[in-house]
Structure formats: C-alpha cells, structure tokens
Amino acid sequence: MDKLASLRDAIGLTRFVGQIDIGAQYFHTVAQRLEHLANRVAPQLSKSAPIAGTTILPSAG
C-alpha cells in the first residue's frame, strides 16, 4: 500500500492495473491475497485520497 500511496502523491496516480502471476501458488492463497487487496488496501487508499471523490478499487477481469 505504501508504494501505491507514494505514486499517488508523487504523480497523481488515481488508477492501478495489475497482473497477477499465479504460478505454482495454491488457489486459496491467491484468493486470500486478492481479498486483502480489495478489503484492506483499496479502502485505505481511497480514504486517504487527496482528491474528493477519488476511489481506487480493484477491477474484475
């Protein structure tokens, strides 16, 4: 989260597109990490967004 917040503050990042390489990880491990991103990281970034109405949400597919 700190890296995304730094980018947001430095260059005005308002959207993030990421690619997840599942590799040899178990599905439940990947699912837990995605849930963490959606439920903890994205809301914290949205709360601290400097521009009113700016939201950072994960995108499905």
19-46 tens-digit pLDDT: 777 788 898 998 998 899 889 888 887 7
Q: How confident is the model at residue 56 (pLDDT cuts 50, 70, 90)?
A: low
Q: Mean pLDDT for the chain?
A: 77
Instruction: Name the residue ranges covered by the structural domains of the chain.
Output: 1-17+24-61
Long-range CB contact pairs, 28-34, < 8 A, 24+? 34/58
pTM (predicted TM-score): 0.54
User: Which phi and psi angles does 2 have, rounded to 5°?
Assistant: -60, -40
Residues 6+ apart with CB under 8 A from 56: 4, 8, 14, 15, 16, 42, 45, 46, 49
Selected residue with higher pLDDT from 37 and 60:
37
pLDDT at 19: 79
